[in-house]
């Protein structure tokens, strides 16, 4: 489905990513983990068509996503959920939610989309009164969930999610994990950047450990969590909580 072949990314005479080759399958959830200098956020942006690699290929169903026809290749295939819940400050919450739909599905049924938004707001226990508010009037955690809802609305084949549970309360975490499980069961690919053990133990099928821009491990989650490798054991004890 999604494949990286010999990917390198160079910035100011320094390689941020080196020799990255990965293959992602439908219906599988992946965790991308590593310390702050590992390059995991940069790798997600390379995989998602945001930052073009210096060398190598990122292919979706055999098509290079950085070709001249990149828009047609990735159109409505990728859904991004950023850690800080990025939205346009001058638009209402509802307008922010509709923006990708209006762009990707010209002429879509806006009333049907609004019903879907209301259903998702109810699932995550968010008041629909916020739809007319601006992002600045909404809490950080609520913006984060709304950012996730925005990705769900376009029904992508691949979700890229940065730190999904960060700063969420227990109830929101449970709802988030439950909905991610539904997405997984629908046959989608989920790629998460996280150090949260709950997600390792309850959702992830495979783990990618990055170290200074290189793949240190790529294996089944159970194998990763029960490794005998002393360096990975040290990483688990220090970083996964």
pLDDT at 171: 92
For 69-87, the pLDDT digits (tens) are 665 667 678 998 987 767 8
Mean pLDDT across 38-65: 92
Two structure tokens written together for 199: 């997600």
For 134-143, the pLDDT digits (tens) are 999 999 899 9
More confident: 226 or 167? 226
Mean pLDDT across 32-43: 92
- Residue 176, number of CB atoms within 10 A of its CB: 20
For 172-194, the pLDDT digits (tens) are 999 999 999 999 999 999 999 99
pLDDT at 36: 87
pTM of the entire predicted model: 0.92
């Amino acid at each position: 489905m999604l494949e990286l072949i010999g990917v390198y990314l160079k910035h100011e005479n320094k390689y941020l990513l080196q020799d990255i080759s990965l293959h992602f399958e439908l219906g599988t959830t992946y965790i991308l983990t590593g310390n702050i200098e590992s390059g995991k956020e940069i790798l997600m942006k390379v995989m998602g068509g945001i930052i073009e690699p210096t060398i190598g290929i990122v292919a979706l169903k055999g098509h290079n996503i950085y070709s001249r026809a990149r828009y047609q290749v990735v159109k409505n295939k990728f859904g991004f959920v950023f850690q800080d819940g990025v939205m346009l400050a001058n638009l209402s919450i509802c307008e922010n939610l509709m923006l990708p739909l209006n762009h990707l599905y010209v002429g879509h049924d806006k009333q049907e989309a609004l019903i879907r938004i209301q259903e998702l707001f109810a699932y995550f226990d968010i008041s629909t009164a916020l739809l007319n508010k601006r992002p600045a009037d909404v809490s950080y955690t609520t913006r984060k969930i709304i950012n996730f809802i925005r990705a769900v609305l376009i029904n992508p084949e691949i979700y890229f999610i940065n730190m999904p549970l960060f700063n969420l309360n227990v109830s929101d975490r449970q709802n988030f994990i439950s909905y991610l499980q539904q997405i997984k069961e629908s046959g989608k690919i989920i790629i998460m950047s996280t150090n949260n053990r709950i997600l390792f133990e309850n959702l992830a099928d495979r783990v990618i450990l990055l170290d200074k821009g290189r793949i240190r491990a790529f294996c089944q989650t159970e194998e990763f969590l029960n490794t005998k490798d002393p360096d990975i054991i040290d990483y688990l004890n220090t970083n996964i909580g």
